[in-house]
């Protein structure tokens, strides 16, 4: 049986996008199965007392974080544009991610949302723009939006977020290989080693 890699993320996290760009290669090398766990990063921050790196009060540290992000993008050679609408309220988006999982269309949803957010720089906090992105990808934007309002879908987002916090998460991306937690796109080397060694 292949190893499992749990990926807790929020589409509003640029470093989650950067990490996502490397998962196909990691899966090819390790034969791991990725379990996508969409959570609400704002909820994680609130529960842990953490905050977005964009709100870092130390100016030099905040500037270095932006430089570090640019270096990772260049290192991986990925297409990336920082979203001018950042930070975006992703609550409705993450609820729709759970609705997409429930309806068996998450793969298409995921493939549509990532580039719309971090390559096209669209405001996916706007329900109309989000619906347009999903519709052009062959998904039912209106149907997913409606399902995202269901109490059980809302509860699923809360439960995933609470689970992430209870297991030690304080930001995104957060990975788990069994009980081992790894935070950040810059820890994928350790993730890969854990997947290979068990």
Q: Kindly report, residue by residue over 89-144, the tens digit of the pLDDT.
A: 999 999 999 999 999 999 999 999 999 999 999 999 999 999 999 999 999 999 99
DSSP 184: S
Strands of 4-9's sheet in order across = 33-38, 4-9, 174-177, 180-183
- CB neighbour burial string for 140-170, b if at least 16 within 10 angstroms, e if fewer: ebeebbebbeeeebeebbeebbeebbeeebe
> CATH homologous superfamily of domain 4-197?
Glutaredoxin (3.40.30.10)
- As a whole number, mean pLDDT of residues 185-196 equals 97
**Half-sphere exposure (Cβ direction) of 137: Cα atoms closer than 13 Å:** 23
pTM: 0.96
pLDDT for the residue 1: 66
Sequence ranges of the domains in the chain: 4-197
pLDDT for the residue 192: 97
Banded model confidence at residue 55, pLDDT cuts 50, 70, 90? confident
pLDDT for the residue 92: 97
Banded model confidence at residue 54, pLDDT cuts 50, 70, 90? confident
Please say if the pLDDT value at position 151 is more than 70: yes
DSSP codes joined into one string, 90-140 = -HHHHHHHHHHHHTT-HHHHHHHHHHHHHTS---TTSHHHHHHHHHHTTS-
- Beta partners for 132? none
Two tokens at 20? 């996502």
Whole-number mean pLDDT of the chain? 96
pLDDT for the residue 52: 86
């Amino acid at each position: 049986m292949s190893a499992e890699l749990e990926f807790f993320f929020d589409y509003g996290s640029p470093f989650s996008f950067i990490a996502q760009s490397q998962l196909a290669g990691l899966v090819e090398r390790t034969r791991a199965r990725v379990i996508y766990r969409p959570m609400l990063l704002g909820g994680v921050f609130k529960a842990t007392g953490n905050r977005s790196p964009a709100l870092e009060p130390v100016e030099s540290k905040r500037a270095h974080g932006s430089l570090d992000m640019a270096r990772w993008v260049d290192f991986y050679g990925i297409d990336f544009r920082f979203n001018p609408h950042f930070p975006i309220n992703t609550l409705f988006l993450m609820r729709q991610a759970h609705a997409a999982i429930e309806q068996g269309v998450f793969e298409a949803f995921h493939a549509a949302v990532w580039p719309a957010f971090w390559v096209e720089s669209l405001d996916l906090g706007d329900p109309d723009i989000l619906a347009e992105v999903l519709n052009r990808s062959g998904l039912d934007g209106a149907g997913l939006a409606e399902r995202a309002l269901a109490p059980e879908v809302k509860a699923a987002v809360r439960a995933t977020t609470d689970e992430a916090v209870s297991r030690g998460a304080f930001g995104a991306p957060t990975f788990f290989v069994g009980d081992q937690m790894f935070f950040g796109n810059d820890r994928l080397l350790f993730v890969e080693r854990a997947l290979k060694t068990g």
